[in-house]
Amino acid sequence: MVSKVKESYSIQEALDNLAAIVGIDLEAPTLIGLVKGRRIVTDQEDYGKAAVIWLSEEPEALLDVIDTTYRTIHNHLIALLENPEMNWDDPKALKGIAAMMALAGESADKLQKYISYRMGRKEIKITERPEYISLQHFYQRRFAKRIQAEEEEEYQAPKEALVDFEAVKRDHDYELFYLRKEDGRPYYDAELIRNLKLSVDFIVEGEDFEEDPLLKVRAMQDRDLHATAGQILGDCHHLIEEFYKIIKKLPDHGLALSLSMAIIALFLAANPRNLLQNTLGKSCLQYYDDFHRFLRRCFKTPEYQRMIAYPPERTDKISHSLLNLTHSLCHSFFLRVGGVKQEAIGLLHRTMRKGDEKAHMPKGETFWTQMIIDDEKLRTLMAKFPNGPLFKILDLIREDQDEDQVIPFDPIGQQNLPIRLYSLEKKGKKADVVRLPSPTSQSIINKVEILDEFRGYLRALSIEAPKKRHLLINMQDRTSWKEYSRCRALEDLQKNAEFSQNIQVLTLPKATDFYHQNSEYLNMNPAGDFMAAFKDQLASPEQCGFFFPAIFKLGEVEKFAEKALALIHREFFEGKSTLSRRNREDFIEIFYQFLCLKAIDLYDPDVVSFTCKDSLDTGAAAHSEFYAFAKLLNGSLDSREEIDFLRWLIYTPALFTRERPIDPERLNRILSALETVDLQMGTRSAQIGKAFAELYSANTLKTLSVER
């Protein structure tokens, strides 16, 4: 038996470190940092300032980490050699080992050049360090003869693929795996796929499989959609009864047949016998997916399209009955309530508690610091289990290859379902706040289609008297090539005469240099300069990522901003002449909350949604932030039920859909802004409320409330 060398990391941590080093651009090298003294990072924005120790001219800590990284690879090779189940005839396994060693070799060469160039330490030779030499000697003695030379040479670790690989692991830009360039070519290449497979192949399961919190998620989703199916059947009960009275008269009617199949699927999803815990056959989740597919099929039928193009006469009760049922099903689909909120909250508590058992973290001094500590507990436990997004992407690639067709980026069609979250009330009128992924389908980067079921939902809003209205607050980046087409499709929807009375779209940028206070804004500390730059952004909205709907009359945004910026500066930042970068980031968040309230005040909507591409990170953070902000404006956020509900808003979208926590940067950003608001509202709530009340119509702020 070969004895293992001393302390090491997990193999996944080691591969992460090697990938981070190989991804460095030596022509424009950035700072290298360490997270928790063991994780090498190069991108400050993705990890947050507080989490990283950035290295400048002293590489000793970095050398300790890279030594342990090579030691980890060495230990892993020893474990493979001693594993009786290792299949040495499997070309996939041999290719993985060769790829890992190629990665180790390239990382040593690149880090040596980086330390010489960036840190001025030319005497340091990574390839001469004992851990690296020991790894290479062991590999040459025990593995090289087993692996064919052509397999070793086949793998070249391209910089672009590995940089993309790091983004993929953090689940950034995963929609590009669905999308194609304008010429039809994919955005990913074979090398990136190889890196993904390598990473998954070398995942080591270091924890008890039964402790994986994600094992409970699918059963919870199944129960959630079981409850949802019952809710939709209840909402549409009268129309369904009416439908079954007329269906016998329509034996060959395409729309009627599709509706019939959709309703049958709903009944099956609502049947408790089809819950995962009660059946080995199709589950409620699968039957609900069938319902959604049949509902979509309704819109493609010639009968439906003819009735939309040429609206039936009032006397044609059968046609109106079919249309009303179709649109009402869409309405309930988008405004469902769900049924596992308390179960999900319980799962979050258990995951955080188990994470605390492994990390033993202190209690926070304030509610907001405790939220950050609890977040770290959750991530600590989840980091010990396989990376959910990686497996989802590999599943997508296999599905794409098996079906030999392009699968569009269609989050709602891929079980990222909308749900009603809470209600907002002002002056006696309630509006539903809905978690809504982008209601679009997209296969080519510059071609986007609005979902038929979302159009059906808007038509349902127009049926009611008075007509209902939806305010869609779009937080996709219209300055980015990745998201511009989706932004334009949504913004143009309100210009369609059919829907102009039912929807308005307000776009707020959450990915620009100004929002992140990067580049030219990084050191814009004088408060006056910052507020002047903010006004400039709003004065040139579409070039800076904003889009204001017709509810804002000409010049109204500028007038609102003039007053709101001054009030925020005075009431939340004590009129300070200089603002730190964190102050400015908080300032932007707070302004966005008041601007959203202004849009709600002007439009008086019945439904409000905070929408990004998938409503998992940016969107989830936004509707969580708005809930907490509204609570703080006219009260407090201190009961256990409210705190649990806030956690549910924050975590469950990404956890249930992508099997990961929310993006930490989005979470830290909203918690920082809310802490700033809470600090001032705690002692001066009446004064602040009175100051900001003049920005809105009478009694808007005084009567504002949110309810779970």
CA-to-CA dists, residue 135 to 271, 314, 589, angstroms: 58, 81, 49
Q: Rounded mean pLDDT of the chain?
A: 86
DSSP state of 275: S
**DSSP track, 418-464:** -EEEEEEEETTEEEEEEE----EEEEETTEEEE-HHHHHHHHHHHHS
Residue 335, pLDDT score: 97
pLDDT at residue 248 tops 90: no
| Mean pLDDT score, 140-150 | 64
Long-range contacts of 156-161 (CB under 8 A, 24+ apart): 156/102, 156/191, 157/22, 157/99, 157/102, 157/103, 157/106, 157/191, 157/195, 158/191, 159/22, 159/23, 159/25, 160/189, 161/189, 161/191, 161/192, 161/194, 161/195
* pLDDT tier at 201, thresholds 50, 70, 90: low
pLDDT at residue 562 tops 70: yes
> In this prediction, what percent of the chain has a pLDDT beyond 90?
54
Residue 206, pLDDT score: 45
- Rounded-to-integer distance, Cα 621 and Cα 671, Å: 9
| End-to-end CA gap in the chain | 61
Least reliable range by pLDDT among 50-54, 328-332, 462-466, 560-564: 50-54
- Closest to 610 (Cα-Cα) out of 510, 479, 520: 510
Task: Decide if 620 contacts 654 (C-beta within 8 A).
Answer: yes
pLDDT at residue 43 tops 60: yes
pLDDT at residue 573 tops 90: yes
Rounded to 5 degrees, what angle do the CA atoms 191, 197, 202 make? 130
Residue 44, pLDDT score: 46
Residue 147, pLDDT score: 62
Least reliable range by pLDDT among 144-148, 243-247, 282-286: 144-148
Q: pLDDT, tens digit, for every residue of 457-474?
A: 999 999 887 889 999 999
195 token code pair: 């890196």
* pLDDT tier at 196, thresholds 50, 70, 90: low
Residue-wise over 465-490: b if at least 16 C-beta within 10 A, else e?
eeebbbbbbbbbbbbeebbbbbbebb
pLDDT at residue 47 tops 70: no
pTM (predicted TM-score): 0.77
CA-to-CA dists, residue 614 to 172, 215, 416, 439, angstroms: 11, 22, 7, 9
| Mean pLDDT score, 128-137 | 87
pLDDT at residue 311 tops 50: yes
Residue 101, pLDDT score: 84
- For every residue of 575-615, which 3-state class applies, written as one string? CCCECCHHHHHHHHHHHHHHHHHHHHHHHCCCEEEEECCCC
Residue 158, pLDDT score: 35
Torsion angle in degrees (nearest 10) through CA of 260, 264, 267, 268: -160
| Mean pLDDT score, 268-286 | 94
pLDDT at residue 549 tops 50: yes
pLDDT at residue 592 tops 90: yes
pLDDT at residue 359 tops 80: no
Query: Residue 54's beta-bridge partner residues?
Result: 33
* pLDDT tier at 155, thresholds 50, 70, 90: very low
Q: pLDDT, tens digit, for every residue of 596-626?
A: 999 999 999 999 999 999 999 999 999 999 9
Residue 157, pLDDT score: 35
Least reliable range by pLDDT among 205-214, 331-340, 461-470, 509-518: 205-214
Task: Decide if 42 contacts 33 (C-beta within 8 A).
Answer: yes
Least reliable range by pLDDT among 10-19, 86-95, 330-339: 86-95
- Rounded-to-integer distance, Cα 511 and Cα 363, Å: 32
- For every residue of 49-68, which 3-state class applies, written as one string? CCCEEEECCCCHHHHHHHHH
Q: pLDDT, tens digit, for every residue of 635-685?
A: 778 889 999 999 999 999 999 998 889 999 999 999 999 999 999 988 888
Rounded to 5 degrees, φ, ψ at 191 are -70, -40
Q: pLDDT, tens digit, for every residue of 470-510?
A: 999 999 999 999 999 999 999 999 999 999 999 999 999 99
* pLDDT tier at 109, thresholds 50, 70, 90: confident
